[in-house]
Structure 1
Amino acid sequence: MATQLTIVQPQNLETFMLIWLDSLVNKSEDNIDTKILLRKTINRLVAFEDMDKCIEYIKDQDEERIVLIVSGRLGQQAVPALHHLAHLIAIYVYCGDKKRHEIWTKEYIKIKGVIDDLKELIIQIQIDQTKRNEYKIDEPIPISYYTKTKKQNLTMNNDDFISSQLLLDCLSRMKPQSNEREQLIRLCKDEYLANEIGLNMIRDFEEKYSPDRAIWWLTRESFVCRVLNKAFQVTNIDLLYYFNFFIRDVRKQLELNKSSSRIRTYRAQIMSSKELRLLKLSIGEIISIDIFLFTIPSRERAIQILQESNVCHDLKRVLIEIDADPSHLNMKPFGDVTSLNYFTDVEVTLFMVGTIFHPVDISEENDITVIQMETCCEEDPSVKTILDAINAQDYEGKPNLLSLGYILSKMKKFYYAEKCYNQLLKEMPDDHYAMVSCYQGFGTIAMEKQEYDVSLQWYQKALDADKAKLKPDDPIIASDYNTLADIHVKKGEYTQAIESYTRALNVWIAAFGTEHLKVAKCYNKIGITYETQEKYLDAIDYYKKTVIIYHKTRCVGYPEIAKLYNHIASIYASIDKNTQALKYFNAALKILTKIHPFGHPEVVRTMKNIAATHEASGNAKEALVQFETIASIHRQLLPLNHPDVAEITDKMQRIFAQLNKNV
């Protein structure tokens, strides 16, 4: 007798999921045996006897691509409720009365067949799924968006885009750990339990994989591509980490086989209206395709693939047309991998995961949306910003677990960052730099979570370790004290903060002298802390020390100096020390008029502050002179109905009235 299959697991490692809705699905012995056979085609199979539970489950699985088998009786109610869902891509009606159910199923384009024989059902699903896997037309493409303009409609801000690029770059260049491959194989064996074909493929990979066959495995119809694609689609950090060795090997093969001349290549893709809308908004911007992107050289074949696909409701046929130029420096590799392909008779160009593209145009061609894209040139300022962020990661020569933890922390994936730090501490307990960096990493995560006491404990551990290893005047110790002070400020512990800032200051002075940027910034932080405590004269003393260093060393620009002068002046004005306030407002104005054009807002704002301070001091005539100068600027630059014009006019009228009253 056949044993019943365990049908529900917590996480699907593949893109596709097979759902079977039938009141007899777990009772008929034929059905139970069939489920085992179906898993050879789509590994994750979930069976339901209850229609309402099935409908609710399918609606919740919007990150999956679902293939549904449904009985004729239940299908008449379930299909109308589910057919509109974009993530439901195919339906098979398995029934005992084929002719009767063929009548109502004609209304639903996603129904691929009405079948009354289990063997025929298995074969049909296998054929259709093989086509889906070959061209991956139904699989979602994860895309990150970078806006050069100020569009607010895209899903990701630019910092997130750069973090995503850093993650992919790190994974593709990080030296694999000794047990990554074993962990991946163990995880996949658990996922494919009771799927003998899947397990045989995993054993084959375990025994025969070699780095020079990475692309061969990527293009083979196996768990490798299916699981890796899903990991990219949902950013499964554990899986991506386990696949690190494989991603690195694919990159190396692509580097060795990268194109030497410009090419035009095509990708057929089914997209939702939402995905297409985001791509339309990205015209003129920058995107990253965060998956290994397979394309073909034949436009006609790509269009044929699209025309053979059925779309409805929210789905659209999309032809992605790519112009790729390998002469662009610093770009990720791409190349013709036909000779490395598992299917050697299929021409394929492969783009490295995370390749950056510039969408240039979008048009309609019959019922197909054509998106023209080109690989990005490093001369583009936005691309340069991204590349600079990647190149700024020193990695101590090569990216490692510490690099990965840092990037994951920036992405606010704290659980995974902590896993990296914990693993590194286990592997390198005697490496001082790694140990302290992990302590600081834990401290940063705790600070981001606003767990300030925990953060203090970790940074204190880092400081203690550094003090035990380094010289007393090492700048690293000053940085440790500085961070401890920052945390005390966040806790409102200002006395402890100033104590730690002062210790940092003493170390930096010992290391760099009294006129260094680090010293100036520390003075500034002490000033801010005193100001927060409303100890204004103490704050001003430290701000003055800061500005003296700024002036002497030119370690910051004039705008920063003018900003600090204005701030000092504002504090003096707030405590009614108007003579000193005017001195610093005028010092700021002198700088601002040199570095900004006529009528610049910063210049006008400072002039307003000078006028207000004169008025507060009882110097109405001096205030009037300033307001008249501002009014003259407004007359030249602003329309008469501008609110700033009205504001200055009101102030001048008030002062005129005051002067006339005193006559």
Structure 2
Amino acid sequence: MWKHIQLIVYRIIDIGEFLKNEFRDCVVLSFTDQKLCLDYVNSVHKAETIFLVLSFMDVKEILNIIHRLRQVDSVFIYSSEQQYKQYEDLLDKYSKIIDTFHQYTDLVHSIQENIDLSFQQLQSFRFYEQHQKSTRDLCKEAGSFLWLRIFKDVVLNLPHDEKAKKEMIETLRVCYRNNRCQLRLIERFNREYQSEHAILWYTGQPFLYKQLNRALRTEDINFLYTFRYFIYDLTKQLEQEYQKQREDCDFIIKLYRGVRLSIKEVNKLETSVSKLLSTNGYVSTSLSKQVALDFLGSSNDNKEEENVLFEIEYDFGKIKSIIVASTAHLSKHRNEEEFLFDLDAVFHLQSITRDLSSNVILVKMTAVDEGTKITNEYIEEHRRFMSRGSVVILFGYLLADIGQYEKAQHYFDCLLENPNGEDVSFIHYHLGVIKYYQGDYEAALNYYQKSYDRLIEDIPSRKGALSFVLNDIGSTFKARGQYDIALDFFLYALKISETYSNYYIIANIFGNMGNIYRIKGDYDRALSCQMKCLHIREKYQPSFHKDIAKALNNIAVIYNDKDDLDNALEYHQRSLKMNEQCLPAEHENIASSLIHVGNVLSNQGKFNDALDHYIRALQIRQIIFPNGHP
């Protein structure tokens, strides 16, 4: 992982030897001759990262020459404690100075921390299967495609105030609590920062872009939430620059980004041609192809990585929802002709080719607006069945929807402390849903009760939301094996929802009641409820929807319980066909449907046909599950 990190030690020989032992995965070089040191640093390509360790006596002389170089990432000054005060004035001039150190252990610890932060900012790509027609059926990766887009909408709807700024400053102080130099820069940021200078601070100050990019890359929701103040400003300023620049051009431009990707990431790209692709942060590109190639260097001896050049076509006259702006006039690196994409950029991956002469992989992409369409479909689909609920609430729901329960809980807990006008009953409700999926049924019921208590005060205006809570209370009692109590709550929810006419919840309730009656052995009532569920879904939902497939499956199971194998086979086959039409080809629901059909065929003595279905199911599961999965 550290192949691009080089530690350059100048005129501190003993420290250089110590660092070679501490950081054996890095290149550690010691110099005593200034010209040799400077020539070497200048020869290192931009794709590499240099950590420079200097004696206090050489700081001004060396940094005046090489501080501006992109490859120089961080500077560590080794000095006596008394000498530290003499160099406080350097901090405003040289932002790459991490700190001064007079203890070897402190120096090593700081270098390690900054190595962790300074890996090449290679974007982790998220892909979306365009034939995945049901935006309510999200695999984790498809959910990751959406979460950052919705998170940005959340940030733009949260208070942009001193409280948010204070939280970010306090977080940065904690991150750099042992780094006096960076703490001084953070205090300067606290005093001097203005929203209209967000791009300049982002491109110029490591303490900002390193921490923000780390949070974006790791999808650390808690940490990102504390950066909401700055994300708001950076996004807004990018949008302002975009609007100004768009007035002057309606033509197509090509932007470039040179990165080194692992073999695994390259393979993923090669199998993703024609898919949509999004990135997990702000994306820096250049109008100059040569600048992008410079970031790759002249050669790459690492057999575990490939040199990749992204060529992005952007049509100013066509694209409406993707923000990109030239930031060269606002950046400290104006000669790089930088264009910066906002958080929610989405691209169509057109082709991947390898230039054998340069050994560079060329990835051609086009900026597209489909990401906004997919996000809006997801939002509208959930608003149809939730009736109410802002994008702020929806973001927490999305986290839970893709199985990120701990992150979702922390998000809603923070929201509960400062609702800012959000519906508290909805927050309690979603916390209950999270606890239900975590198997903590007692906690789930407690949250549902809190939601119920608030909603019941606003009857009749809150009937729709109340029916959801009652239905989920019933589901929780069902999970606890208390079927009679569960049925009572389903009937109560049905009574309320029938006056409210929300097809989604009514269908859900009938499906849940059918499951209870089946457990109790009352197959006729179970079948009646599941048929009602199916008819409602077929009437109000899209022709091809995974919820219809689920209803068909539930009916098939009841017929199977009644030993009516012909009807069981018919409904299982219809369920399989529906899943195949609305889900990706390699989806667990399709594998499950194949197994159900195979089981019925086996019971009918059609063993060859059953085996064919089992083999197809196995092939799907071998693709979607890792080796050794039970």
State the TM-score, normalizing by the size of structure 1: 0.64
1:349 maps to what in 2? 339
Pairing 1:216-227 to 2, within 5 Å after superposition: 216-227=200-211
Deviation digits for residues 39-74 of structure 1 (CA, Å, limit 9, x no counterpart): xxxxxxxxxxxxxxxxxxxx8xx7996747698789
Q: How many residues align?
A: 528
2:190 maps to what in 1? 206
Q: Measure the CA separation in 1 of the matches of 2:576 and 2:55.
A: 84
Aligned partner letter, 2:273: I
Q: Measure the CA separation in 2 of the matches of 1:307 and 1:253.
A: 32
- For residues 558 and 330 of structure 1, do their structure 2 counterparts lie closer, same or farther at Cα, with a shift above 3 Å needed? closer
Cα deviation for residue 361 of structure 1 reads 1.9
1:278 maps to what in 2? 268
Greater CA drift, 486-495 or 359-368: 359-368
Q: Measure the CA separation in 1 of the matches of 2:572 and 2:265.
A: 50
Pairing 1:48-87 to 2, within 5 Å after superposition: 67=7, 85=25
- For residues 503 and 304 of structure 1, do their structure 2 counterparts lie closer, same or farther at Cα, with a shift above 3 Å needed? closer
1:417 maps to what in 2? 408
Q: Measure the CA separation in 2 of the matches of 1:423 and 1:338.
A: 37
- For residues 305 and 173 of structure 1, do their structure 2 counterparts lie closer, same or farther at Cα, with a shift above 3 Å needed? same
Q: Measure the CA separation in 1 of the matches of 2:221 and 2:549.
A: 46
* Aligned counterpart for 1:291 among listed residues 270, 281, 302: 281
Cα deviation for residue 522 of structure 1 reads 2.1
Work out whether residues 267 and 319 of structure 1, in 8 Å CA contact, stay in contact via their aligned partners in 2: yes
1:93 maps to what in 2? 30
Work out whether residues 377 and 383 of structure 1, in 8 Å CA contact, stay in contact via their aligned partners in 2: no
- For residues 217 and 400 of structure 1, do their structure 2 counterparts lie closer, same or farther at Cα, with a shift above 3 Å needed? farther
1:459 maps to what in 2? 448
Q: Measure the CA separation in 2 of the matches of 1:441 and 1:187.
A: 27
- For residues 324 and 473 of structure 1, do their structure 2 counterparts lie closer, same or farther at Cα, with a shift above 3 Å needed? closer
SS state of the match for residue 469, structure 1?
A: coil
Greater CA drift, 168-177 or 199-208: 168-177
- For residues 75 and 355 of structure 1, do their structure 2 counterparts lie closer, same or farther at Cα, with a shift above 3 Å needed? same
1:526 aligned onto 2:513:
yes
Q: Quote the RMSD (CA, aligned, Å).
A: 5.2
2:438 maps to what in 1? 449
1:314 maps to what in 2? 304
Q: Measure the CA separation in 1 of the matches of 2:155 and 2:280.
A: 12
- For residues 277 and 134 of structure 1, do their structure 2 counterparts lie closer, same or farther at Cα, with a shift above 3 Å needed? farther
Cα deviation for residue 197 of structure 1 reads 4.2
Deviation digits for residues 410-457 of structure 1 (CA, Å, limit 9, x no counterpart): 45444443344334333349x6x6210111121122122111111111
1:252 maps to what in 2? 236
- The one of the two structures with greater contact order (alpha-carbon pairs below 8 A, sep at least 6) is 2
1:325 maps to what in 2? 315
Cα deviation for residue 462 of structure 1 reads 0.9
- For residues 63 and 557 of structure 1, do their structure 2 counterparts lie closer, same or farther at Cα, with a shift above 3 Å needed? farther
Cα deviation for residue 189 of structure 1 reads 3.1
Pairing 1:579-594 to 2, within 5 Å after superposition: none
1:426 maps to what in 2? 417
Cα deviation for residue 549 of structure 1 reads 6.0
1:131 aligned onto 2:118:
no
* Aligned counterpart for 1:338 among listed residues 328, 332, 337: 328
Q: Measure the CA separation in 2 of the matches of 1:470 and 1:384.
A: 35
Work out whether residues 94 and 116 of structure 1, in 8 Å CA contact, stay in contact via their aligned partners in 2: no
SS state of the match for residue 267, structure 1?
A: strand
2:466 maps to what in 1? 477
- For residues 342 and 475 of structure 1, do their structure 2 counterparts lie closer, same or farther at Cα, with a shift above 3 Å needed? same
Aligned partner letter, 2:362: I
- For residues 93 and 316 of structure 1, do their structure 2 counterparts lie closer, same or farther at Cα, with a shift above 3 Å needed? farther
Cα deviation for residue 174 of structure 1 reads 4.1
2:149 maps to what in 1? 165
Work out whether residues 66 and 72 of structure 2, in 8 Å CA contact, stay in contact via their aligned partners in 1: no
Q: Percent identical across equivalent pairs?
A: 19
Greater CA drift, 293-302 or 416-425: 416-425
Pairing 1:140-159 to 2, within 5 Å after superposition: 140-148=121-129, 157-159=141-143
* Aligned counterpart for 1:237 among listed residues 203, 221, 241: 221
1:440 maps to what in 2? 429
Cα deviation for residue 502 of structure 1 reads 0.8
Ranges in structure 1 where 5+ consecutive residues have no aligned partner: 1-58, 100-108, 616-626, 628-641, 648-663
Cα deviation for residue 243 of structure 1 reads 2.0
- For residues 565 and 220 of structure 1, do their structure 2 counterparts lie closer, same or farther at Cα, with a shift above 3 Å needed? closer
Work out whether residues 467 and 494 of structure 2, in 8 Å CA contact, stay in contact via their aligned partners in 1: yes
- For residues 66 and 522 of structure 1, do their structure 2 counterparts lie closer, same or farther at Cα, with a shift above 3 Å needed? farther
1:369 maps to what in 2? 360
Cα deviation for residue 354 of structure 1 reads 3.1
Q: Measure the CA separation in 1 of the matches of 2:467 and 2:196.
A: 48
SS state of the match for residue 509, structure 2?
A: helix
Cα deviation for residue 124 of structure 1 reads 6.1
Q: Measure the CA separation in 1 of the matches of 2:504 and 2:449.
A: 25
SS state of the match for residue 353, structure 1?
A: coil
Work out whether residues 16 and 29 of structure 2, in 8 Å CA contact, stay in contact via their aligned partners in 1: no
SS state of the match for residue 91, structure 1?
A: strand
Cα deviation for residue 249 of structure 1 reads 1.9
- For residues 572 and 81 of structure 1, do their structure 2 counterparts lie closer, same or farther at Cα, with a shift above 3 Å needed? same
Q: Measure the CA separation in 2 of the matches of 1:646 and 1:205.
A: 67
Cα deviation for residue 526 of structure 1 reads 0.8
- For residues 480 and 94 of structure 1, do their structure 2 counterparts lie closer, same or farther at Cα, with a shift above 3 Å needed? same
Q: Measure the CA separation in 2 of the matches of 1:566 and 1:203.
A: 61
* Aligned counterpart for 2:529 among listed residues 539, 542, 548: 542
Q: Measure the CA separation in 1 of the matches of 2:376 and 2:518.
A: 39
* Aligned counterpart for 1:506 among listed residues 470, 485, 495: 495
Q: Which has the larger radius of gyration?
A: 1
Q: Measure the CA separation in 2 of the matches of 1:568 and 1:113.
A: 65
Q: Measure the CA separation in 1 of the matches of 2:611 and 2:347.
A: 49
Cα deviation for residue 307 of structure 1 reads 2.9
Q: Measure the CA separation in 1 of the matches of 2:276 and 2:219.
A: 20
Cα deviation for residue 484 of structure 1 reads 0.6
- For residues 390 and 212 of structure 1, do their structure 2 counterparts lie closer, same or farther at Cα, with a shift above 3 Å needed? farther
Deviation digits for residues 366-405 of structure 1 (CA, Å, limit 9, x no counterpart): 4452433323333x6x874355335667699996754443
SS state of the match for residue 352, structure 2?
A: strand
- For residues 304 and 194 of structure 1, do their structure 2 counterparts lie closer, same or farther at Cα, with a shift above 3 Å needed? same
Q: Measure the CA separation in 2 of the matches of 1:114 and 1:421.
A: 43
Q: Measure the CA separation in 2 of the matches of 1:190 and 1:408.
A: 27
Aligned partner letter, 1:373: K
Cα deviation for residue 240 of structure 1 reads 1.8
Cα deviation for residue 491 of structure 1 reads 1.9
Q: Measure the CA separation in 2 of the matches of 1:575 and 1:285.
A: 44
1:495 aligned onto 2:508:
no
- For residues 93 and 111 of structure 1, do their structure 2 counterparts lie closer, same or farther at Cα, with a shift above 3 Å needed? farther
Q: Measure the CA separation in 2 of the matches of 1:544 and 1:138.
A: 56
Deviation digits for residues 337-384 of structure 1 (CA, Å, limit 9, x no counterpart): 233334556532111123112332232354452433323333x6x874
Q: Measure the CA separation in 2 of the matches of 1:570 and 1:511.
A: 30
State the TM-score, normalizing by the size of structure 2: 0.67
Greater CA drift, 137-146 or 387-396: 387-396
Q: Measure the CA separation in 1 of the matches of 2:6 and 2:400.
A: 33
Q: Measure the CA separation in 2 of the matches of 1:589 and 1:400.
A: 38
Q: Measure the CA separation in 2 of the matches of 1:400 and 1:545.
A: 32
- For residues 92 and 519 of structure 1, do their structure 2 counterparts lie closer, same or farther at Cα, with a shift above 3 Å needed? same
- For residues 449 and 130 of structure 1, do their structure 2 counterparts lie closer, same or farther at Cα, with a shift above 3 Å needed? farther
Work out whether residues 520 and 549 of structure 1, in 8 Å CA contact, stay in contact via their aligned partners in 2: yes
SS state of the match for residue 485, structure 2?
A: helix
